[in-house]
Amino acid sequence: MAEAEAQLRKVGCPKINLQVRGGNREVVSFYEELGFAVEDRVSMGKRLI
């Protein structure tokens, strides 16, 4: 992840957004340890098939 972040900074990427299921506490904790923060957002989708 550190290498991906470094490469994204080099090209001017201001932010990384992740989507993680709220109930997946292990993954949420993993990304929090890497400096990510839970944000108050709503993810919407529409299944077509």
The domain ranges of the chain are 2-33
| Contact predicate 34/1, CB 8 Å | yes
Q: What is the pLDDT of residue 35?
A: 97
pLDDT per residue as tens, the chain (49 positions): 999 999 999 999 999 999 999 899 999 999 999 999 999 999 999 999 9
Q: Which residues contact 21 (CB under 8 A, 6 or more apart)?
A: 27
* C-alpha distance from residue 28 to each of 1, 3, 7, 11, 16 (Å): 15, 20, 23, 27, 15
pTM: predicted TM-score of the whole model, two decimal places: 0.78
